[in-house]
Amino acid sequence: MFTRVSTFKCDAGRLDEVATLVDKLAPVMKQVPGIVHSSVSWRDDGSGVIVAIYESETKAAAAVETIQAVWAEALTLLTEPPQIATYKNAAITF
């Protein structure tokens, strides 16, 4: 498995919009080919993290266009560009 971790920062005064957007985009994320798990967490200060686990690095690469479209909807909420880290070895522990 392969993991992509994206950290983000958004306007703390718009966290209700973050929650609404997460609910809206959840069905889209479930349909991304090769995705095994995705979760989003954020703090009251507007900082957050998205963890996405894919079946393979190849499938994660193939999903980039779809994921960029998801990010495009979130850009108006962000106060800085997201930072992305990748991990070539992953396991779901429960």
The domain limits of the chain are: 2-87
Region 20-28: mean pLDDT is 89
In CATH, which of 3.30.70.100, 3.30.70.1560, 3.30.870.10, 2.70.170.10 is domain 2-87?
3.30.70.100
pLDDT at 93: 85
Specify whether the CB–CB gap between 65 and 5 falls below 8 A: no
- As to burial, measured by CB atoms within 10 angstroms (0-12 exposed, 13-18 middle, 19+ buried), residue 3 is buried
| pTM to 2 decimal places | 0.88
**Nearest of 12, 13, 4 to residue 68 by alpha carbon:** 4
Distance CA 37, CA 5 (A): 12
pLDDT band at 3, cuts 50/70/90?
Answer: very high
